[in-house]
Each structure stands twice: as structure tokens, then as C-alpha cells.
Amino acid sequence: MSTKSIYANILGSVILLIMAMIIFEYTNIDIRVQDHFFNFDTGTWMVGNHNELLRSIFYNGSKKFIVAMGILSILCLIFSSQKKYLRSKRKELLIFILALIIVPFLIARIKQVTNMYCPEQIQRYDGVYPYVKLFEHYPEGFHTKHRGKCYPAGHASGGFAMMALFFVCNRRSYKLAGLATGLVMGWIMGLYQMLKGAHYLSHTVVTMLLAWIIICLIHEGVHMLARQKTFAWLADSPTNRPLRTTPASRFQTQNQVH
């Protein structure tokens, strides 16, 4: 993907992010969706916190899978000098590794400052905190020692980070498959959290868009580094570059043929 296309992607994603934040801020979509996952008669969520099977699959299991993918990618990068194909994929591997690290890290940092509570924590769903939207103020007189740390969706960020597979693959069909893998992973992890009252729909949507923006920025950053002499090892291996044909070489080839 060219630099121009990357910046177009970033701009488009930023516009979509702003639009999504405005829509969720001025509508009650979050509450309407979340109401379907909560049983007001029993005071329970569709997926309970004590369901160990689902937790082992969609929470712990998904995390372990992403960590395993990261470790495998690091090993491929370390031993890339021994394999021609891996040498030509150094930039792509680094983009993927950095995405798996940076996307969840930045989302976690944002969660520290937004001061928003999870659905299971608000009064509507038998919690103790008032429900406020991102740009709203808490009711006058409301004080708490524990700030909200629920927005955006931290768990789903690891899944959405795998959208960086788009940049690892060469063929368009494989790129789309890589992108789809990240989207499916992110939404499965995000939906699981929504079903147990840990996040709203807006949290997952915003995380998805932020993740893609961060991944695109990582892509540009890695390619900028690859153009620097200090990071020349990131450049494509000379053995993988097409040979330049000079007039002299063409003349020699013709003589050999005749």
C-alpha cells in the first residue's frame, strides 16, 4: 500500500471515528443494545462472570492465542537472516509485532483518563455509579475514589491489533483475509465482553477504529525507519530485488544466445 493510500486510510478512519463518537454521544444506542444482554428480573447478564468455559475460550484463550502469534512473529524476525522469504518480510513482521504491543498499550492508557464505567457498574444494571456519556459531566455532588476505566475496550484491542495481518500478506485476497481475521477476533472478544456487561457497543467500535489508525501509523513509521541507514536491515534483501538490466549485460546475454 502506498504512502498516499495509507494517509487516505488514516484520514477516512479519523472521520469515521469522529462520526461514531458523535452518534453514540447524541443517541441511546449503547443503552438500547445493552438492555438486550441484561435480565432485569434476575439481575443477571446473558453471560455470567462465573462461566469458566466461556471465559477460558473467549478471554484467557484469545489472549494466549494473540501472545502466541506475537512470539511466533518475533522468532521469525530473529531468524529471518536464515530464510530468504523471511528476509523479505522483515518490515511486515515488525509492523505486526509492534501492532500487537502498541495497540493494546495505547488503548489501556486511554482507559486511564476517560473515567467511564462499565455497564455492570452503573445503577441501571444494579451497579452503584451513574451512567454518563463520554462528553457528559457526572452529577453534581458525585464523588468516588475509584475512577472509571472502561472506555475504550481493552480486551478487544488485542484482537483488533491482528488487523495488521493485512500488511503481512502480499496478495489482495490474503490481505483481505488477514484484515478479516483481525476484525473477527476483535468483535468476538468485544461481543463476549458486552454479553457479560463489561463494555458497551461504542467501546468496541471506537477501539476498532483507533486500532486501525494506530496500525496505519505503525506501518508508516516502520517504512520510514527502513529508509534510514541505521535500520538498513529492515530493507528488502538484495537477493530478493529484481536485477537491473544494463545495455552491457543485454549485449553479453545476446552473444551467449548466439
What is the model's pLDDT at position 242? 41
Banded model confidence at residue 243, pLDDT cuts 50, 70, 90: very low
Least confident of 50-59, 92-101, 103-112, 247-256: 247-256
Taking a C-beta distance cutoff of 8 angstroms, is the pair 26, 122 a contact? no
What is the model's pLDDT at position 2? 75
Retrieve residue 144's grid coordinates: 468516588
Percent of the chain with pLDDT strictly greater than 90 = 74
pLDDT, tens digit, 9 for 90 and up, residues 182-240? 999 999 999 999 999 999 999 999 999 999 999 999 999 998 888 876 676 676 544 33
d(CA 48, CA 44): 7
What is the model's pLDDT at position 236? 58
State the pTM of this model. Answer: 0.86
Q: Is the pLDDT of residue 244 over 50?
A: no
